[in-house]
Amino acid sequence: MVNVTINGLDVNVEQYNCEGEQILVLLHGFTGSTKTWQHVIEHLPVAVRVITIDLIGHGMTAAPEQLEPYSVVAQVQLLEELFAKLELERFTLLGYSMGGRVALSYAACYPQRIEQLILESASPGLASLKERATRKLTDEVLADNIIANGIVSFVEKWENIPLFASQKSLPEDVKQEIRKERLAQREIGLANSLRGMGTGIMPALWHQLAELSMPVLLITGSLDFKFEQLAQKMVVQLKQGSHISVNEVGHAIHVENPAQFATIVKESLIQ
């Protein structure tokens, strides 16, 4: 674990298998952190150098009160400067949900860096201006509620939204791990992440999918119908796109079946 300072902001980075020749960078989702990947990393070979990052406002990375560092443009630029400091030239980039949006945005800006892009339960954004306006309002209301009512109240509601219904059947110790990770977040970090990088404010990237020349693997859970459909729409627009649906899991495949998720990633890396 190491803090790397970029433009005055401390970014938490954790590395595993530092001698590995293949490089895999992992970006977590909303309310997540580097800890979200711990059970996946256990199943990855030592030949893979794994780098996990706490995104702005999450985990042990800075959570500034100013909104600007949370924008898509700022987060992509921060990652580029971080990768330069870590002397990463080319690597596989994997992002989950919100982290998938960040990963896709980064790949669109710096395609020369990316050997392969892996998106888990991720979206290129909302195509319609009306949809984006509606979602932006919803995200702003949620952000205000997080600040007003605190992290405990938010987590109690968040863990019960339909998107995570399939997690109810997980073992109790796994559910407690997820809850602990969410409760460790800071109100301002989550609120500003919604305001700066929520689906409503994020520019739609649908038109840029066809411009991506690197292999792009889309992974979704069979119980996550919305993102299954999104992946099916995305894959036909990608030059080198593929889609894997994992049975009997929902939105967070890496949490609900980390061994199978790691196997998919391993097989993708050795192709």
pLDDT-derived band at 159, boundaries 50, 70, 90: very high
Query: Does residue 226 form part of some domain?
Result: yes
For residue 115, how many other CB atoms are within 10 A of its CB? 15
Query: Does residue 153 form part of some domain?
Result: no
Give the mean pLDDT of 89-95: 97
Query: Does residue 255 form part of some domain?
Result: yes
Give the mean pLDDT of 22-50: 97
pTM over 0.95: yes
Query: Phi and psi dihedrals of 254, rounded to 5?
Result: -65, -20
211 forms bridges with which residues in the sheet? none
pLDDT reported for residue 3: 87
Q: Return the CATH number at 262.
A: 3.40.50.1820
For residue 260, how many other CB atoms are within 10 A of its CB? 18
Query: Does residue 6 form part of some domain?
Result: yes
pLDDT reported for residue 88: 95
pLDDT reported for residue 1: 74
Q: Supply 242's token pair.
A: 């593929």
Query: Does residue 168 form part of some domain?
Result: no
Q: What percent of the chain has pLDDT over 70?
A: 100
Q: Please give the residue range of the domain that contains residue 83.
A: 2-125+204-269
Chain-centroid distance, C-alpha 142: 19
pLDDT reported for residue 52: 98
Q: Is the pLDDT of residue 51 over 90?
A: yes
pLDDT reported for residue 20: 87
- The tens digit of pLDDT for each residue in 196-225 reads 999 999 889 999 999 999 999 999 999 999
pLDDT-derived band at 142, boundaries 50, 70, 90: very high
Query: Does residue 166 form part of some domain?
Result: no
Strand (E) or helix (H) holding 137 = helix 129-149
Query: Does residue 55 form part of some domain?
Result: yes
Mean pLDDT score of the chain, rounded to an integer?
A: 96
Strand (E) or helix (H) holding 254 = helix 253-256
Query: Does residue 75 form part of some domain?
Result: yes
pLDDT reported for residue 233: 97
Number of structural domains, the chain? 1
